[in-house]
């Protein structure tokens, strides 16, 4: 097994972490196939990591203090009241999270991949074919590459998952997330009350049918970016074709969605927070439709699934990149302890399959509580907020722990 070949399909955070995991587990012949031709590090979206999850991943060697981050401590909730620019305070909850910029975090993981691993950009995978002794990865250019183990880290439209479980399809949740991030210097145009948005605050600006989550992230060069996610159901008359898994990259929103964005930010959000979102330029604005699914197993023969290829949990859970890194720690542990590829697959599936199901279910509960069937925010207060969070059973918020896994930071 140690002399075998491993193909990782997908070169984002999940793919780089998976390549690092199998290397630490003993594999020496590793190739990563990434469809994008450009620099993934140019992506500037934010993500948050619970302090406890960071401690586990740092202990396992997949995160450390060299990765640029900011510390949050509380989550403040506001709703529009017609009087105050920030809106009426609904309440607050603890929020012990570290924030990251996707691009610099990816770059750190990419740099930590072993020098012997081959990273092939501009190499989209068309199909993956299972065989008794491994699997064959076929690229769009017609070339074919056999591997003893194939790790699918290629997102919610995964070609690897399509080969392993062709009947599994992501289900559209009925709403979407508009996202943006921009240099924090732009905030000076807002004005507003002094100290309106402390660096340690994550803001939830809520309205009937949705909410915006707003927090700062590092820019990777010593500064900050304002990062936000706006959850909202598009008007029913808009036919966006979202039942088929898709995404709308920055700069491609149509006129109707821009009009919906303007209506939510101008009329439903408190003026200060709506104005903050409006500072985002069109080329910085993109859409992430909400989908749910989890594969019935995380392994099928010599195919393994990781990250969004295995499970998509709505971003409310705060677990996207975290779960991908946790998947990697479990993959490393399985490779280290096993003597055969079959044992690797069985151990990895047993470790991560139940986590995927729990995170998907939590995402659905939080989506129902915060977007589809939220409270009447006009009258809600701290007691209602506490009850909402308790009713969603959000104990796994921020990703479940993965105790007992150890490694070295630099690997």
Q: Are residues 246 and 279 in the same domain?
A: yes
Could you count the other beta carbons within 10 Å of the beta carbon of residue 400?
21
Question: Would residue 51 count as lying in a domain?
Answer: no
Count of domains forming the chain: 2
Which pLDDT does position 155 carry in this prediction? 92
Q: Which of 304, 303, 338 is nearest to 134 (CA)?
A: 303
214-241 confidence digits (pLDDT tens): 999 999 899 999 999 999 988 877 777 7
Q: Which residues contact 345 (CB under 8 A, 6 or more apart)?
A: 299, 300, 301, 302, 304, 334
Q: Which residues contact 378 (CB under 8 A, 6 or more apart)?
A: 79, 81
Pairing of strands 224-232, 171-183: antiparallel
Question: Would residue 261 count as lying in a domain?
Answer: yes
The rounded distance, in Å, linking the Cα atoms of 72 and 9 is 34
What mean pLDDT, rounded, does the chain reach? 90
Q: Which residues contact 188 (CB under 8 A, 6 or more apart)?
A: none
Q: Which residues contact 306 (CB under 8 A, 6 or more apart)?
A: 14, 17, 18, 151, 152, 153, 298, 324, 327, 328, 331, 352
Q: Alpha carbon of 213 to those of 76, 169, 299, 389: distances in Å?
A: 10, 28, 34, 16
Q: Are residues 92 and 217 in the same domain?
A: yes
Q: Are residues 12 and 142 in the same domain?
A: yes
Residue after which a domain boundary falls, among 262, 291, 320:
291
Q: Which of 244, 242, 268, 34 is nearest to 155 (CA)?
A: 34
Q: Are residues 286 and 190 in the same domain?
A: yes
The rounded distance, in Å, linking the Cα atoms of 333 and 26 is 11
Q: pLDDT tens for the chain, 411 residues: list them.
A: 667 899 999 999 999 999 999 999 999 999 999 999 876 766 668 999 999 999 999 999 999 999 999 999 999 999 999 889 999 999 999 999 999 999 999 999 999 999 999 999 999 999 999 998 999 999 999 999 999 999 999 998 899 999 999 998 888 899 999 999 999 999 999 988 878 999 999 999 999 999 999 999 999 899 999 999 999 988 877 777 777 777 667 767 778 888 899 999 999 999 999 999 999 998 899 888 898 889 999 999 999 999 999 999 888 888 889 999 999 999 999 999 999 999 999 999 999 988 888 889 989 999 998 899 889 999 999 999 999 888 776 666 777 666 544 333 333
336-388 confidence digits (pLDDT tens): 999 999 999 999 999 998 888 888 998 999 999 889 988 999 999 999 999 98
Q: Are residues 143 and 183 in the same domain?
A: no
The structure tokens listed for 44 are: 């500037």
Residue 94: CATH number of its domain: 3.30.9.60
Residue after which a domain boundary falls, among 239, 269, 291:
291
Q: Are residues 17 and 137 in the same domain?
A: yes
Q: Do 406 and 57 contact (CB within 8 A), yes or no? A: no
Location of structure tokens 């803001």: 203
Q: Are residues 264 and 177 in the same domain?
A: yes
- Considering the entire predicted model, what is its pTM? 0.92
Q: Are residues 240 and 151 in the same domain?
A: no
The rounded distance, in Å, linking the Cα atoms of 331 and 306 is 9
Q: Are residues 186 and 242 in the same domain?
A: yes
Location of structure tokens 């992230």: 217
Range list of H helices, 340-394: 341-367, 382-391
Residue after which a domain boundary falls, among 273, 291, 309:
291
Question: Would residue 386 count as lying in a domain?
Answer: no
Question: Would residue 96 count as lying in a domain?
Answer: yes
Question: Would residue 157 count as lying in a domain?
Answer: yes
Question: Would residue 388 count as lying in a domain?
Answer: no
Residue 153: CATH number of its domain: 3.50.50.60
Question: Would residue 277 count as lying in a domain?
Answer: yes
Q: Are residues 233 and 345 in the same domain?
A: no
Q: Are residues 80 and 199 in the same domain?
A: yes
Q: Are residues 212 and 251 in the same domain?
A: yes
The rounded distance, in Å, linking the Cα atoms of 192 and 86 is 8
The structure tokens listed for 109 are: 């993981």
Question: Would residue 13 count as lying in a domain?
Answer: yes
Range of the domain at 236: 69-100+171-291
Pairing of strands 144-147, 125-131: unpaired
Q: Do 151 and 6 contact (CB within 8 A), yes or no? A: yes
């Amino acid at each position: 097994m140690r002399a075998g070949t491993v193909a990782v399909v997908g070169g984002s955070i999940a793919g780089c972490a998976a390549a690092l995991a199998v290397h630490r587990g003993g594999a020496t012949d590793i190739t990563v196939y990434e469809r994008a031709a450009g620099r993934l590090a140019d992506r500037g979206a934010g993500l948050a990591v619970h302090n406890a999850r960071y401690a586990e991943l740092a202990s396992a060697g997949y995160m450390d203090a060299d990765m640029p981050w900011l510390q949050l401590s509380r989550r403040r909730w506001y709703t529009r009241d017609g009087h105050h620019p920030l809106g009426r305070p609904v309440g607050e909850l603890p929020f012990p999270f570290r924030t990251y910029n996707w691009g610099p975090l990816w770059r750190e993981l990419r740099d930590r991949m072993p020098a012997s691993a081959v990273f092939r950009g501009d190499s989209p995978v068309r199909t993956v074919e299972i065989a008794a002794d491994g699997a064959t990865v076929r690229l769009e250019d017609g070339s074919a590459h056999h591997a003893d183990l194939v790790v699918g880290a290629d997102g919610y439209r995964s070609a690897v998952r399509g080969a392993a479980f062709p009947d599994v399809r992501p289900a559209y949740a009925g709403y979407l997330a508009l996202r943006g991030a921009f240099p924090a210097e732009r905030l000076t145009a807002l004005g507003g009350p002094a100290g309106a948005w402390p660096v340690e605050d994550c803001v939830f600006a809520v309205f009937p049918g949705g909410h915006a989550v707003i927090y700062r992230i590092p820019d990777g060069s010593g500064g900050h970016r304002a990062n936000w996610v706006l959850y909202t159901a598009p008007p029913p008359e808009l036919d966006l074709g979202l039942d088929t898994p898709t995404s709308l990259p920055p700069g491609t929103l149509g006129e109707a969605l821009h009009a919906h964005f303007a209506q939510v930010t101008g009329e439903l959000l408190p003026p200060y927070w709506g104005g903050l979102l409006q500072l985002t330029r069109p080329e910085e604005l993109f859409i992430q439709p909400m989908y749910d699914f989890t594969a019935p197993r995380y392994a099928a023969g010599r195919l393994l699934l990781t990250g969004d290829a295995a499970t998509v949990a709505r971003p409310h859970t705060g677990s996207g990149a975290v779960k991908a890194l946790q998947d990697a720690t479990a993959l490393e542990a399985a490779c280290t302890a096993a003597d055969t590829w079959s044992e690797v697959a069985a151990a990895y599936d047993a470790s991560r399959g139940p986590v995927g199901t729990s995170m998907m279910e939590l995402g659905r509960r939080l989506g129902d509580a915060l977007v589809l069937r939220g409270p009447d925010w006009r009258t809600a207060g701290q007691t209602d907020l506490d009850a909402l969070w308790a009713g969603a059973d959000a104990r796994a918020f921020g990703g479940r722990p993965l105790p007992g896994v150890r490694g070295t930071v630099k690997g």
